[in-house]
Amino acid sequence: MAVTTTYHKEDLRADLLRVGHAYVAASGHEGLSVRKLAAHAGVSPGAPYHHFPDKRTFLLAMAKEGFDELWERGSAIRAQAGSPIEVLTELAYAFFAFQAEKPRLVDLMYESELTRPIIDPLIVTEQLRAYALLRGAIEDAIPGMADGEARARTVAFWSAIYGYASLVGKGLLQPLASDGETSFQTWRDALVRQTVAAAILENTSDFKR
């Protein structure tokens, strides 16, 4: 006879995450509904609730996969240890690359119902881990900094990198380029050079009170 369609799925949880990532990559997290998700996974509308208590929890699971991948890329860069300047530069470009590859996933991670009106604790945790990575790279360049200075330098670095990637993600920077990709790369390279330099300059006078 015909192939018996399984009633119990192989691993519905993993299927849902797979389907979810595909949907988000294609259309963003805004239009994603539990019903569409279930339909794409070939399952009834209520089934996903046996694997995730909430829609929010499901989105959080997807976001976590994104943060994990980002973390792996970042810690790999730091592990293969070049000079501090090289490490910071590569970290910046790695974030831009991730944002370019999966812009809609980055939206989910940083700008979604998971971050508004109040941010989810898990995302705060992920962010602290990334903060520690950046701070470590900066402290490699300037050993023995006071706590406040290290914080200020890390925050300034991350603000510029995140801000730029975020604006690019919104499509708020391309329209300014009349000469296309060329100048687009030029700003980015200049911004990275500036930001890395500012994070690493030995002159600490700006941070003393």
Binding site for DNA (CB under 7 A): 4, 6-9, 12, 32-36, 38, 43-47, 49-51, 53-56
Q: Which two tokens stand for residue 206?
A: 């700006």
> Residue by residue, what is the 3-state secondary structure of 133-188?
HHHHHHHHHCCCCCHHHHHHHHHHHHHHHHHHHHHHHCCCCHHHCCCCHHHHHHHH
Nearest to its own copies of 8, 209 (CB atom): 209
Q: 110 with 168: CB under 8 angstroms?
A: no
Length of the chain measured in residues: 209
**Measuring CA to CA, which residue among 70, 46, 71, 51 is closest to residue 61?**
51
- Closest contact distance (angstroms) between CB of 106 and DNA is 20
- Closest contact distance (angstroms) between CB of 21 and its own copies is 15
Q: 13 with 51: CB under 8 angstroms?
A: yes
DSSP structure class, residue 4? P
Nearest to its own copies of 3, 176 (CB atom): 176
Q: Which of its own copies, DNA, none is residue 27 near (CB under 5 to 8 Å by kind)?
A: its own copies
Q: Which residues bind its own copies (CB under 8 A)?
A: 27-28, 30, 104, 107, 110-111, 113, 115-119, 124, 127-128, 131, 148, 151-153, 155-156, 158-164, 166-167, 170-173, 175-177, 183, 186-187, 190-191, 193-195, 198, 206-207, 209
Q: Which of DNA, its own copies, none is residue 35 near (CB under 5 to 8 Å by kind)?
A: DNA
- Closest contact distance (angstroms) between CB of 20 and DNA is 11
